[in-house]
Amino acid sequence: MEVKTHIAIVSVPVYSHLRSILEFSKRLVHLHHDIHVTCINPTFGSPCNNTKALFDSLPLTLNQMFLPPVNLEDLPHDTHPAIQVQVTISRSLPLIYDALKALHATSSLVAIISDGLITQVLPFGKELNVLSYSYFPSTAMLLSLCLYSSMLDKAISCEYRDLVEPIEIPGCIPIHGTDLPDPLQNRSGAAYKQFLEGNERFYLADGILVNNFLEMEEGIIRALQEEQEKGRIPCVYAVGPFVQEEQCREGSSNDIKYLRWLDKQPCNSVLYVSFGSGGTLSHEQIKELAWGLELSGQKFLWVLRPPNKFGIIADIGARNEDPFEFLPDGFVKRTEGHGLVVPYWASQVEILGHGAIGGFLSHCGWNSTLEGVVHGIPLIAWPLFAEQKMNAVLLSDDLKVALRVRVSENGIVEREEISRIIRKLMVGEEGKEIIQRMKVLKDAAVDAIKNEGSSTVTLTQLALKWKSLSLECCC
């Protein structure tokens, strides 16, 4: 009789994180048909259409378990989306534990893999006597910071943003304090305390799975592996890149319009502009970006959302305003045929895979970054929040596959700077060098997930470990 190895995946209600961990789950069951996966999903409110599409795209071998929605009515109406997520995670923990306990009682559950934002799940593995892993949907560079953060906290007394010298993180390129993630920009804030507490829980993991491949962050991953060999940190496994391959869309007439428009453009001539699944700009910044695109003289495809006071939208399916109202007067008419603005959402996978795309102006979210790498598209780094500035440092200063925008003293990227950097990437000599480096990185990404690639071999070794535990349980 065939023994099914059962793995539980615990997600978080953040679209970008959910996408990443589901792609990992799909890859796992694709490579190992005898592994059974159940995805446990905390929720608040009704999922948007894009989230529904993610789950609709899952193979039948991936079971889904949606926990009862958490009631957030006691929170203020204008609560930041990040706080809503944290409260949802906290209030869902008893439900998650009960779900895991039930799975363990009825199947040969051998491992729990929880998203890196929900490290509170890691102790559950010890209580249920199963292995417990963290799925880290970002860079090894950020992971190194997380594992090193308590030491930094003790070694540095001032605010990180006030440091004159760059910070040394094991295995990483030196990084300025202002480029550290948002929670580290105010050490007296609650977010900073939560960041440190969450990082300490990583040490409870039997391993940490990173959504990247060895060849992209080899120095950092090797440094982490040296630390693990000394018994100082958990095992670190580079198992990516996991990117969305097939279409998961809401569906609209815009889909056909922008793809047909791209079909008419010369090869590598169009700059794709997008700030991810939820990133937004201020009204002033939208106008500056529009003027910069126009001044550059380069072709562009821009996915535009209206401004939001948080700089991020919680529901990527919400369409309450007309984003075209925030563009400069006459912009659409003046750039007609030369550029195209798509409201709210577009299929990034299809766009980046189109031969007309020659550059990608990105917020440096990790999903978007990996999609750019997998398709070999040179980048303009325009980070907005979270760990995106760290990603920009990795891409522009370390790997040198991106140009980073300069922000003025008033916090705005001005039109002249936007025009300059677009032309530099799309038609400048430095842009040509970036294209060559990105091609090498693309080839390495493709190789990493081949049958004998570094990431596939690493994931297979983990899977074999889990399967052997299932056999032991059945004996």
List 6, 17, 104, 354, catalytic entry: 17
What are the sequence ranges of the domains in the chain? 5-240+449-474, 253-446
Range in 28-32, 105-109, 407-411 with the lowest mean pLDDT: 105-109
Residue 310 has a pLDDT of 66
* pLDDT number for residue 474: 62
Which range, of 60-69, 160-169, 242-251, averages the lowest pLDDT?
Answer: 242-251
pLDDT at 247: 55
Hey, which CATH number is domain 253-446, 1.10.4100.10, 3.40.630.30, 3.30.360.10, 3.40.50.2000? 3.40.50.2000
Tens digits of per-residue pLDDT, 378-391? Answer: 999 999 999 999 99
CATH topology identical between 5-240+449-474 and 253-446: yes
248 pLDDT higher than 60? no
CA–CA dist 358, 426 (Å, integer): 7
Across residues 465-470, what is the average pLDDT? Answer: 90
Residue 82, C-beta contacts closer than 8 angstroms, at least 6 positions apart: 191, 312
Record the tokens describing residue 93, joined without a space.
Answer: 């923990």
Lowest mean pLDDT among 38-47, 239-248, 453-462: 239-248
Q: Determine the average pLDDT of the residues in 442-455.
A: 97
Residue 214: per-residue pLDDT: 97
pLDDT for position 251: 47
In order of 10, 159, 191, 194, the CA distances from 197 in angstroms are 19, 18, 10, 5
What is d(CA 415, CA 453) in angstroms, rounded to the nearest whole number?
A: 43
Of 18 and 58, the structure prediction assigns the larger pLDDT to 18
CATH number of 5-240+449-474: 3.40.50.2000
**pLDDT tens readout for residues 282-302:** 999 999 999 999 999 999 999
Predicted pLDDT at 176: 97
pLDDT tens string 72-101: 999 998 888 889 999 999 999 999 999 999
Query: What count of Cα atoms within 13 Å lies in the side-chain half-sphere of residue 248?
Result: 22
Contact between 28 and 463 (Cβ < 8 Å)? yes
Name the active-site residue from 115, 179, 363, 375.
115
Which amino acid is it at 403?
L
Confidence check: pLDDT of 69 > 80:
yes
Residue 268, pLDDT > 90, answer yes
Active site includes 104?
no
What pLDDT, on a 0 to 100 scale, did the predictor assign at position 3?
Answer: 63
**Is position 80 annotated as part of the catalytic site?**
no
- For the chain, the first-to-last Cα distance in angstroms comes to 12
112 pLDDT band (50/70/90 cuts)?
very high
Paired tokens of 325 = 């109202």
Chain-wide mean pLDDT for the chain?
A: 93
3-state secondary structure string across the chain? CCCCEEEEEECCCCHHHHHHHHHHHHHHHHHCCCEEEEEEECCCCCCCHHHHHHHHCCCCCEEEEECCCCCCCCCCCCCCHHHHHHHHHHHHHHHHHHHHHHHHHHCCEEEEEEECCCHHHHHHHHHHCCEEEEEECCCHHHHHHHHHHHHHHHHCCCCHHHCCCCECCCCCCCECHHHCCHHHHCCCCHHHHHHHHHHHHHHHCCEEEECCCCCCCHHHHHHHHHHHHCCCCCCEEECCCCCCCCCCCCCCHHHHHHHHHHHCCCCCCEEEEECCCCECCCHHHHHHHHHHHHHHCCEEEEEECCCCCCCECCCCCCCCCCHHHHCCCCHHHHCECCEEEEECCCCHHHHHCCCCEEEEEECCCHHHHHHHHHCCCCEEECCCCCCHHHHHHHHHHHCCCEEECCCCCCCCCCHHHHHHHHHHHHHCHHHHHHHHHHHHHHHHHHHHCCCCCHHHHHHHHHHHHHHHHHHHHHC
pTM for the complete prediction? 0.94
pLDDT computed for residue 58 by the predictor? 85
Residue 475 has pLDDT above 60, yes or no: no
Nearest-angstrom CA–CA distance, 356 and 40: 39
